Amino acid sequence: MSSDVKKVARKAESSTPLRAVARAGYAANGLVHILIGVITLVLAFGGDGESDQAGALNAIAAAPFGFVLLWVLAIALWALGLWHLFEGVLVSAPASTSSDGTVETAKRQGSKWGRRISEWGQAVVFVALGLIAAVVALGARVDSEQSTEDVSRGVLSIPGGPIVLGLIGLGVGIGGVSFIVMGFLRSFEKKMSIPAGGIGPAVKTLGIVGFIAKGIALVIVGILLLVASVKVDPAAAGGLDGAMTALLALPYGPWLAGAVGVGLIAYGVFCFFRARFARL
């Protein structure tokens, strides 16, 4: 990255208003996950609903003055996405610890770009979620399951489409595994200033449970996309709502879906604490 680009990113990232709205973005993400978790619990007990981001945002739109809250969520999520974009630009390679200059330089560059891609990936996710919130605020009703099928159908129609869709599914699955690992290793603590006492242990517990639950949901989404690529059947693809439907079809499915729902609620509550304790 050029020094001028980094200078602009550093100045923007240090902006107090951007940091404040970015923290609100974590809270917005938390609200969405709490609603997804609640809808998942409703499904586990035999009710109806869309247990994904679109379903949660549609539920907000149905509330009085819901469109106002949706615009607040959209702006906060865009700010958080922008912050992660700048964070990716400012990523630097770790310090050298080896006398083998060539090998060590390659490792450092690989680590830097890995972190950079991670930050930019998060930026894309938050900006996309903000766009969905804005679209719903404008009166559209988003069906993410149908959208996933439509996108999968388009990918499968191009040369090498099944391979591309399979790679996307693999990427989503790997992302899910990374969430699970982050939960078990508690690596999310590195990006937060969680107090040692008081509410600190509760925040850590919410993070562990929440990251593992979200990871499980993403792994199921990845599996659905892989199945769709192998069968060359876009109808087999699905997002979070499809993942919960697949989970409910398993033995003890309602119990499993209920556990994931509780975990997603825990992740949502954790995001509210992350808004407070994140190192921005």
Q: What does the pLDDT average to over 16-26?
A: 89
Q: What DSSP designation does 197 have?
A: S
Instruction: Note the pLDDT of residue 196.
Output: 87
Residues comprising the chain, all counted: 280
**107/27: higher pLDDT:** 27
What is the pLDDT of the chain when averaged over all its residues? 84
Measuring CA to CA, which residue among 213, 220, 222 is closest to residue 269?
A: 213
Point out the least confidently predicted range of 144-153, 183-192, 206-215: 144-153
Bridge partners (DSSP) listed for residue 192? 278
Instruction: Note the pLDDT of residue 101.
Output: 58
Instruction: Note the pLDDT of residue 279.
Output: 85
Q: What DSSP designation does 48 have?
A: -
Instruction: Note the pLDDT of residue 238.
Output: 67
pLDDT tens for 226-250 read 888 888 777 777 677 777 888 888 8
Point out the least confidently predicted range of 5-14, 192-201, 267-276: 5-14
Measuring CA to CA, which residue among 30, 25, 118, 132 is closest to residue 79?
A: 25
Domain boundaries, the chain: 3-277
188 close to 182: Cβ distance less than 8 angstroms: yes
- AA letter at 235: A
Measuring CA to CA, which residue among 16, 141, 18 is closest to residue 75?
A: 18
pLDDT greater than 60 at residue 103: no
CA 116 – CA 129 distance, rounded (Å): 20
pLDDT tens for 107-141 read 666 677 777 888 888 888 899 889 989 988 988 77
User: ∠ CA(203), CA(245), CA(168), 5° rounding?
Assistant: 80
pLDDT greater than 90 at residue 49: no
229 close to 166: Cβ distance less than 8 angstroms: yes
Point out the least confidently predicted range of 44-58, 178-192, 217-231, 258-272: 44-58
CB contact set of 109 (below 8 Å; sequence gap of 6+): 93
pTM exceeds cut of 0.85: no
- Is residue 102 very low, low, confident or very high in pLDDT (cuts 50, 70, 90)? low
Evaluate the CA torsion angle 193, 198, 204, 210 in order and state its sign: negative
38 close to 267: Cβ distance less than 8 angstroms: no
Q: What does the pLDDT average to over 24-47?
A: 90
